[in-house]
Structure 1
C-alpha cells in the first residue's frame, strides 16, 4: 500500500527502514517522550531500533499493528507516523496514534495523512470503530483528532504512564463507521 498526496507518501514501515525510523524518533525524542513512551523506549539506539523494526514486521504479519510512515518525497526521509494499534478483530476496531516531525508541524500534513489512512484502513479492514487517546495538554494531537471527525467519548482517569513515570488522564475520542 502506498498513498501519495502533495509532496508526501504514506506506506507501511518496511524491514529495511530502521535507520530512517531511528532518525525520525531520535530527532523528536524529547517531544515524543510523554505520549509515545513505548516507541521511545524501544528506539534508544540504532541497534535497538533495528531489533524493534524486525519485531514490528512480525506484528504487521500477525495483523496486530500497522505503522504507516509519512515520507517527504523530496528528501526521502520519514517525517511522521500514523499507527494503527490495539486492534480488536472481534468488533472490529482499532486505535490510531500519530505524530509529525517538529519541522513539519502546523502544515496540516499529519491531519491529511491521518484522514487518508483512516479511509484506507476502514475500506481494507472493515473497521466499524476507531478511537484515539490524548492527554488534554496535547493540543496538536487533539486538533488532528477533531479535524478527522472524532468525538470526545470521555476521560479515563489515571490511564497512562509517561516515560518520566507520571500517571496522567487520557481523553478518549471515537469515530464509528457503517
Structure 2
C-alpha cells in the first residue's frame, strides 16, 4: 500500500530502506536526539540501520508497530518518519509520532501525512482513538495536531525523559474515529 500526497508519498517500512533511514537519522541527529533518541541510537551506523529495518518490517507485519516512511516524489528521498505505536488492540488505541527533515518543515507535508495515516488507522486498522504526545515547546507539532483536529486532553506529568535531561511533562492530544461516536 502506498499513500500519495501532493509532493510526497507514504510507504510502509521496507527492507530496502536501511540506507535512507541511516542517512535521515544522521542528517537529522540534532532534531531527533530529544524526542526520538531510540530511533537515533538504533541508526548510528548503516549496520544498525539494517537491523532496525528488519525488526521494524517484522513489527509491521505482526501489527505490533507500524513505521511509515515519507518520501519525496521524483527523488524518493526519505524526508520523514511516521510511527503508529503503543497499540492496544483491545481498546483500539494507538499513538502517532512523526518527524520530518528540516527543509520540509512548515510546508503542510506533516499535516497531510498525519491526516492520511489517521484515516488509514481508523478505516483500515480499526482503531478508535489516536494519541499524539508532544512537549509544549514543540509548537510545530502542536500546530499539526490541531490542524488534524486532535483535541488537547491533559498534561502528562514526567512522561518523557530525553537523554541527559530530567523528565518532561508532555501534552496529550487525541483524535477519535467519527464513525465510532
TM-score range relative to shorter protein: over 0.9
- Aligned residue pairs, count: 178
Q: Which runs of 5+ in 1 are unaligned?
A: none
Write the deviation string for residues 106-156 of structure 1: whole angstroms up to 9, x where unpaired. 100011011011111211111111101001111111111111111111001
**Map of 1:112 onto structure 2:** 112
Structure 2 counterparts to residues 1-178 of structure 1, below 5 A: 1-177=1-177, 178=180
Alpha-carbon distance in structure 1 between the residues aligned to 2:76 and 2:174:
33
**Cα RMSD, aligned residues only:** 1.0
**8 Å CA contact 1:133, 1:173 repeated in 2:** yes
Q: Which runs of 5+ in 2 are unaligned?
A: none
Alpha-carbon distance in structure 2 between the residues aligned to 1:48 and 1:156:
32
Alpha-carbon distance in structure 1 between the residues aligned to 2:94 and 2:61:
16
Write the deviation string for residues 7-32 of structure 1: whole angstroms up to 9, x where unpaired. 21111010111000111111111111
Query: What's the TM-score once normalised by structure 1's chain length?
Result: 0.96
Q: CA deviation at 1:163?
A: 2.5
Query: What's the TM-score once normalised by structure 2's chain length?
Result: 0.95
Structure 1 moving runs of 4+ over 4 Å: none
Residue 81 of structure 1 aligns to a residue whose secondary structure is strand
Q: CA deviation at 1:166?
A: 2.9
Q: CA deviation at 1:164?
A: 2.8
